Structures are given as structure tokens and as C-alpha cells.
Structure 1
């Protein structure tokens, strides 16, 4: 295929509540985030596989609660008294397992927050993180937990439609169901796939069609 010069202009990822699509895979988690004032002890664990929407929901809650977001692995270098003054989102908490300095910082932050609001995201429950501080593990395991499942067909279809619309790309009706049946089942995979199709269509000077998607997916599979 002959290719033309194309500019890679990444689309901005929107983490607003209006951009979050509810489905059977995430409805329980969404309800928990929207009713955060009812969290026992002011804390919640949000568990789910990569690409299931944890970060999006974390941003939705942070906007509603006025919370600061940071990655768990950065806790050891964080200014804990400053963090403890307002609600906090700790992302990718499973990454601190076995990192004593990060675990100790998390333990102190947990105590500093004292019901002000703490949302923790991870890909598995605390018992699976390999924590070395029993006090931290016991406190986290006592927190309420809500889980996200991998995106279902309805959610992936809605996300793909929006991603194409955001790029002002008109696609044939049969393309969405075709992509859903063949793609990796995550929101991140949907974003990557739409971006790759957009770039390929621009480079070839062709519209985004099922034939183009087949070419892209088959090329990726052969690699």
C-alpha cells in the first residue's frame, strides 16, 4: 500500500463523568463512586484489570471530592502532611508490595486522612499485593471494595463510537461490531486501535473501513 505523509496528532483523553459509559461491567463501581459520601470510614478500594476504567473513575471521584491523585510508587517521596489535608486517590497500589518505604508512607497517609476520603485503585485485592506491613494490610482489607469487570460488548461499542466521533471519523455501521469481536477487551486497546486506524487511513489517503481494519489487525497478528 502506498502511504502519504501523516501527522500524528494524539486525541486528548477525557476523564469527565460525561465521558464515562455505564454498563453491566462497571455499574456497581460507578454507583459506589457517585455515593462516595456513604463510604464506611471514608475509604474505598477500586479493583479491576488494566483498561477496565479505574483511572477514569478515579478522576471522576477526584473532581467530585476535590482530591489529589498520585501513583502509589511515589508515596515514599510524597509530602504526607500536605497530602493528608484533603482527599486522596492512590493509583496502582499493588505496585508497592514489598517496598517497605512506600508501604510505610501509605500506612501513615491512611492514618492522616482519618475519614477525609481515600480511594485506592489496584488490579487485585490487598491480600495479593505481597505487602510486608501487616498493619497496612489489615487496614486496607477492612476497607470496602468494589470491582470492575473487563469491558463488555456494549461498553466497548460505545467507547469506539465516541473515539471515532472525537476524531470526526465516519465509519460504516458494520465496523464497530467487527472491531469488538477481534480487539483486546480494554478501553486502552480501543483508544490504541482507533488511533492506529486513523493514522493508517491518513497515511494511505483512504477512509476507515472494515477492509482497512482487517488489514491493520491481520498485520498486527502476523507480527
Structure 2
């Protein structure tokens, strides 16, 4: 269900998770996820850098498609059953013969039964260092769509949402100030907001650029 936020970005509800914001950087991926019933190959690879929202969008898809989500390392425990499945972080099982064989059989079974399969990783499937030749060919034959790191508009909307979730009204200059200086990832946005909230509660100081500058400077000092 859609609603409107301060920045007029549409919101997509993800089951059990925060709202997923649409932006130019993720619109193509979201559109491809939405047409999951019509995936020509019955499968899709969702790729993008760490913190680009792959896990979040996977949960959006799983909610829509009534799909089960499995970390790639858990596929060895999978028992064949019809349905839709999402396998996260496939490159993590590269070189694990048992897990690779399990994913190969899962892939074939799900598609043979008319299910849909979503797989994810940081790089395109052609670069996944899978050792099992049959699985390599299946993954390389999987169409892919890429999530980009959050752009300015998305990052601003996310920060406002995270502050609002904590019932925090930051100083007016803070969000634009952060967008210009912070690392661009969903994970980093969540960490910064949580840390600013904690420090403000501990010290009674306002949540503004000065407090944020101290936090980012400490991050740089730690390397």
C-alpha cells in the first residue's frame, strides 16, 4: 500500500521490516521484482553493493510471492517442496561442494515445479566463483538486475524516516549535512541515527551537525 512522505517518495511496505523507498537508483530493480510472475527464465539475480538494499527488497519480494528466504549456506538443509524461494548471498558457498550441489538441485527442482527463484550477490552471476560446472552454467544463465547505492533523494528520505521512527526531530541542517558526508548505504544510515540517538540521550545534547561531526570524525580516526 502506498503513502506519501515528506519528500513525496512512494513507500512500499515490507513484511516485518521498515518501508522500502523508491528512487531512481532502485526503480528498475523494483519494477523487475514486481513482474516476478512473468520472469522469462523463472528466475532473477538481484545484485548490488553491500548496503544497497538487497535483503530489504528480497523481503519485499518474498512477501509478494509467498516465498521462503534461505541464506545460501543453509541450502544443504533444504528438503524438496514446491514453491518460490530466495537464496541470499550465493557467492558465499563458492567452493563448498555440498552446498553447491544442494543449490543446483534446488534450482532445478523449483523451476521444474513452476516456482520462481531469486538469488542475490554483490557481483553479477558471471563473476561468482562457483566450482560446480553445472551450477555455474545455471547461475550465468540467470537474468540479473542491479541495485545502486542510495542517491541523495533516497538517503535523505531514509534518514528522515529513521529519525521519525525514533520520534526524533533533528536540527534542520542535519540531514542535508549528513547526506554530503556519510557513506552511502542503508546500514550506515541506520548506524548513524542509532548512535546519534544514544549519544544525545546520554549527554542531553541536541542532535545536529556538531554531534554528527564528532561521530564521523571518530569513525575516521578508527580507520
TM-score where L is the length of structure 1: 0.89
Partner of 2:43: 43
Aligned counterpart, 1:61: 61
Report matched runs for 1:184-203 at 5 Å: 184-203=183-202
C-alpha separation in 1, matches of 2:160 and 2:133: 46
SS at match of 1:212: helix
1:110-157 superposed Cα distances (whole Å, 9 cap, x missing partner): 011023011101111222221111111111211211011111111111
- Which whole-Å CA distance do the structure 2 matches of 1:61 and 1:197 have between them? 32
Q: CA deviation at 1:42?
A: 1.6
CA distance in 1, matches of 2:188, 2:163: 14
Q: What residue is the counterpart of 2:3 in the other structure?
A: none
Bigger RCO (CA 8 Å, 6+ sep): 1
Distance 1:64 1:194 in 2: 29
Write out per-residue CA displacement over residues 28-50 of structure 1, whole angstroms, 9 at most, x where no aligned residue.
Answer: 00001111111113211000001
2:34, 2:18 → 1: CA distance? 13
Which of 96, 101, 104 aligns to 1:99? It is 96
Contact 1:95-1:129 at 8 Å conserved across structures? no
SS in 2 for 1:40: coil
Cross-structure match for 2:24:
24
Tell me, in whole angstroms, the C-alpha distance in 1 between the residues paired with 2:174 and 2:116.
42
SS class of match (2:173)? helix
Q: Alpha-carbon deviation of 1:18?
A: 7.6
Unaligned runs of 5+ in 2: 1-12
What is residue 205 of structure 1 aligned with on the other side?
Answer: 204
Superposed structure 1 runs of 4+ greater than 3 Å apart: 14-18
**Corresponding residue for 2:84?**
87
Say if 2:14 and 2:63, in contact at 8 Å, map to a contact too.
no
**Aligned ranges 1:107-146 → 2 under 5 Å:** 107-114=104-111, 115-146=114-145
Q: Which runs of 5+ in 1 are unaligned?
A: 1-13
Native 8 Å contact 1:94 1:129 kept in 2: yes
- Aligned residue pair count: 207
Measured on the aligned residues, the alpha-carbon RMSD in Å equals: 1.5
User: How far did 1:211 drift?
Assistant: 1.2
TM superposition score normalised by structure 2: 0.89
Between Structure 1 and Structure 2, the one with more helix by share is 1
Which residue of structure 2 aligns with residue 10 of structure 1?
Answer: none
How far 1:68 moved relative to its partner? 0.5
